[in-house]
Amino acid sequence: MRSLTARRAPQPAGIRRDPAPTRWSYRYQRLMLTPAFRALVRIGLPVLLIVFIATAWITNEANRAMLTAQIAALKAAVQDRPEFLVTGMEIDGADPYLTDAINEAVQLTFPLSSFDLDLAALRDTVARFGAVRDVVVRVQPGGTLSIAVDQRVPVAVWRYGEELRLIDAEGVITGLIQNRGDMAALPLIAGDGAKDAIDEALALFAATGPVRPRVRGLVRMGERRWDMILDRAQRILLPTQDPLAALDRVIALHEAEDLLERDVLVVDMRNAARPTMRLSEPAVAILRRAADNQ
């Protein structure tokens, strides 16, 4: 039995079916083989589509609000993790007064996230204190805010008008005191420009030797030379040049002759070639009488 439906006529032998493309399919293929057009189709169109959809979505107010809320929530979720939490603050290298002052100035409420800490600003705040030479602020592992302070050590008391200021070896004011007795161990200096010559003053103080208990302080005269004040209102006027040598001469004289135990008001060493002494009036009178008696 044979089916009556038409079967496709077999291909004539030797002829390969090779249909010509239509004009439009030919042109379409050529267009698709153009590199620029291919790039446009493969990259340009998807990008355009994505940008279009994203723009359409973001122009909606509710979507935008939702997006910002989502971002904020995500950010908070990361920042509030216990790994990033700062629970306390410790201040190293500062005396109790400075510690109190820093605590006062920093004003942080713990716990807080380390992302919320502005360490640079914190460092500036602390470094603004006069008594702080340098400060290192960091969050230590374990969630502690560490403020390592390099505090300035006062080496002298500087009387400036009515105030008593503490200054360190670099001449920087580190604080104020009410009474001289608060820092009785520190030497006292006074006068304009005294803090600029603090090195010299300290050297002079160190050289006083046996007279040390009697020294009341150093006064800078005319911002160029020192007067050493002893008790009983005695003064040693030191020269501008090489005051240490002059002081040594006075001390030597004192050790040999007990110079400063005598009734001398002023020892003037300003002219090294001609040291001068001023005696008190009773002493002058006694001296004159003794001369008359001879």
Partner 1 sequence: MQRGVIAILDVGTSKIACLVLRFDGPERFTTVDGVGPMAGQSSFRVIGAATTRSRGVRFGEVDAMAETERAIRTAVQSAQKMAKVRVDHVIACLSGARPRSYGLDGEVDVHGAVVTDQDIGRVLAACDVPDYGAGREVLHAQPVNFALDHRSGMADPRGQTGARLTTDMHLLTVDASAIENLLYCIKRCDLELAGLASSAYVSGISALVEDEQELGAACIDMGGGATGISVFIRKHMIYADSVRMGGDHVTSDISMGLQVPLATAERIKTLHGGIMATGMDDREMIEIGGTTGDWELDRRTASRAELIGIMRPRVEEILEEVRLRLDAAGFEHLPSQKIVLTGGGSQIPGLDALASKILGQQVRLGRPLRVQGLPQAATGPAFAAAVGLTLFAAHPQDEWWDFEIPAERHAGRSFKRAVKWFKDNW
Q: Name the site residues for partner 1 (rule: CB under 8 A).
A: 9-10, 12-16, 18-21, 23, 26-27, 29-30, 33-35
CA distance 36 to 101: 70
User: Between 6 and 33, whose beta carbon lies closer to partner 1?
Assistant: 33
Our CB check for partner 1 shows the closer of 23 and 289 to be: 23
Nearest to 219 by CA among 254, 195, 250, 184: 195
Q: What is the dihedral of CA 261, 265, 270, 271, to 10 degrees?
A: -80
Q: Minimum Å distance from CB 57 to partner 1? A: 37
Q: What's the min distance (Å) between Cβ of 3 and partner 1?
A: 16
Identify which of residues 13 and 120 has a Cβ nearer to partner 1 in the complex: 13
The least distance separating partner 1 from the CB of residue 46, rounded to whole angstroms, comes to 21
**d(C-alpha 43, C-alpha 67), whole Å:** 27
Taking the least distance from each CB to partner 1, the nearer of 19 and 96 is 19
Q: If phi over 0 gives left and psi between -120 and 50 gives alpha, with beta otherwise, what is residue 242?
A: left
**CB-wise, 20 or 291, nearer to partner 1?**
20
Q: How far is the CB of 45 from partner 1 (least distance, A)?
A: 19
Element holding 71 (H helix, E strand):
helix 61-79
Instruction: Identify any residues that bridge with 112 across adjacent strands, giving them in sequence order.
Output: 86
- Find the helix packing angle between 119-127 and 96-106, rounded to 10°: 140
- 212 Cβ contact partners less than 8 Å away, ≥ 6 residues apart: 205
Identify which of residues 21 and 88 has a Cβ nearer to partner 1 in the complex. Answer: 21
Name the packing angle between helices 243-257 and 198-206 (round to 10°).
20
Nearer to partner 1, 12 or 282 (CB): 12
Q: How far is the CB of 66 from partner 1 (least distance, A)?
A: 46
Alpha-carbon span 218 to 227, nearest angstrom: 6
Rounded CA gap, 250 and 239, in Å? 12
Q: How far is the CB of 5 from partner 1 (least distance, A)?
A: 17
CB of 116 to partner 1, least distance (A): 58
- Written as one string, the DSSP assignment of 29-51 is HHHHT-HHHHHIIIIIHHHHHHH
